[in-house]
Amino acid sequence: MKTRNKRGGILITTVILAMAVAIGLGSYIALAVQASRLSNNSFHMNAALNLAEAGLEAAMSSINRTDWSDWTAYQGNATNKSKSLPAFDLGAGATGHVDVVVFGATSSPTPRIVAQGRTAGQLGSSVRKQIEVRLRRRSHFATGLVAKDVVTFSGGNAYVDSYNSEDPAFSTGGQYDSAKKRDRGSVASARVEVTTDGVSIGNGNVWGYAATGGSDVDVGSTGSIKGTDTPSGVRIDTSRITKDFSANFDIETAPTSGFTTVYGNVNSTTTFGTAGATSTILAANLTANNSGDVFTIAGDVTMVVTGNITVKGSIIVTPGSSLTLYLEGDADIGGNGIVNQTNVPKNAVIYGTDATTGGQTIKLHGNGVLQAAVYAPNAHIELKGGGSSGEMSGSVIGYDIKMTGNYQFHYDEALAELTDGNPWSVGLWHEITRAADFVAF
């Protein structure tokens, strides 16, 4: 009897252990299956998002090249373009699909892109992600003083602030008015090394912001960086200093054809263009060695100078005219400098086109107030007024920038809207999460 009871107890214990093992194995298998499903779903969600990003890249490429040759009208509307990319093999039996539509591709100043990534695979996984992007034109002049390398204030008490030539609340007759100044006079350097100063303010004063790509900002004992919201008594407002600045420094390409007039070396008083007309001019060198020599800009003039510019007289942009200058060589503009009689910086734009880093030098040191915008990302740029002081309204982008003497620089915020012909950039990015907002493909 005792033997039977003993055997019964062993049997019951064995059954209980077997049940425990079975439950444990079942739980482990269920957990493994669940983990596999979660991992698989995560893979598909990430893949779908990446596929949607690929659709965005395809759309950005076509819109920047204005090439819609392999796109079709979306739902019969020719101003909207759609495209489906070939299927992607994601491995392990999974496939990916990309659909994209550009709304206002050929008509809108702010096109909208919706890109969809879809995946299908094993274990019943199927994921769809949609991303919406709104585009805007990039401006080379979204910041006041910008250098790839360093910005240096040298000598006296340089000063930086801002205004808006197209807003009467922040300008007078389109010109800078100290009574209406703004605190957006930005100074920026893309230099990332922390062992050297990317922005050297010295004893200058910035009524606005300073930014670097990681290097330090050097401020002298009497220098300042502050704005309207800076607490009283604070000389260096750290909330207006950042070290995460980055920028694209694309080189502008000069026109190579369609010239209405072609010059060789121009070395005496000359009028370029015709009032009320548009002209595209090619010249080798511009040289005005006499203080009385004047280069006059009449009408809307686009000028390409393949050599150098040396001016001891003046370059006058007459009222109702504009100058867009593409310069391959160096410039040394003194005398009365560039006299912009339109009083608006966007009507006197200089593009330095040298492709070699540091391969160009542009010196602007006229006696008058300079109202212009300069984009020469590979140029050494020197801003210096006549005598002991100088003044410029506009924007400057260069390889390095040096302000000398008691120079005043006023960033024209209206230049941020100078976007004609520039590449598109992302103004807004978000994932569409509500099913009701999904775009049909």
Among 226-240, 245-259, 370-384, the least confident range: 245-259
Give residue 54's pLDDT: 92
Model confidence band, residue 198 (pLDDT cutoffs 50, 70, 90): confident
Say how many domains are in the chain.
2
Same domain, 374 and 417: yes
Q: Pick from 300, 339, 336, 301: which is nearest to 320 by CA? A: 300
Among 39-43, 187-191, 265-269, the least confident range: 39-43
Whole-model pTM over 0.75 = no
CA distance 172 to 312: 30
Same domain, 223 and 109: no
Give residue 29's pLDDT: 61
Same domain, 262 and 387: yes
Q: Which of 4-18, 155-169, 384-398 has the highest mean pLDDT?
A: 155-169
* Residue % of the chain over a pLDDT of 90: 56
Same domain, 418 and 285: yes
Mean pLDDT to the nearest integer, 165-182: 95
Left, alpha or beta for 238 (phi > 0: left; psi -120 to 50: alpha)?
alpha
In sequence order, the β-bridge partners of residue 264 are none
Same domain, 174 and 58: no
Decide: 204 and 403 in contact? Cβ < 8 Å: yes
Same domain, 150 and 292: yes
Same domain, 234 and 158: yes
Same domain, 154 and 93: no
361 vs 107: which has the higher pLDDT: 361
Its domain, for residue 169, covers 145-422
Give residue 11's pLDDT: 64
Same domain, 217 and 308: yes
Distance of alpha carbon 139 from the chain centroid:
6
Decide: 370 and 121 in contact? Cβ < 8 Å: no
Tens of pLDDT, residues 344-363: 999 999 999 999 999 999 99
How deeply is 59 buried, as exposed, middle or buried, from its count of CB atoms within 10 A (0-12, 13-18, 19+)?
A: buried
Residue 281, both tokens:
């001019």
Same domain, 206 and 86: no
Give residue 140's pLDDT: 85
Same domain, 223 and 99: no
3-state secondary structure at position 109: coil
CA distance 409 to 222: 18
Mean pLDDT to the nearest integer, 23-42: 58
Mean pLDDT to the nearest integer, 320-326: 97
Model confidence band, residue 64 (pLDDT cutoffs 50, 70, 90): confident
Same domain, 133 and 164: no
Q: Is the pLDDT of residue 386 over 70?
A: no
Give residue 323's pLDDT: 97
> What sign for the dihedral angle of Cα 59, 65, 66, 71?
negative
Q: Which residues contact 93 (CB under 8 A, 6 or more apart)?
A: 121, 122
Tens of pLDDT, residues 432-441: 988 889 999 8
Among 5-9, 167-171, 390-394, 395-399, the least confident range: 5-9
User: 440 phi and psi, to 5 degrees?
Assistant: -80, 135
* Residue % of the chain over a pLDDT of 70: 86
Q: For 347, how many CA atoms within 13 A lie in the half-sphere containing its CB?
A: 24
Decide: 378 and 355 in contact? Cβ < 8 Å: yes
Mean pLDDT to the nearest integer, 304-329: 96
Q: Is the pLDDT of residue 412 over 70?
A: yes
CA distance 183 to 1: 101
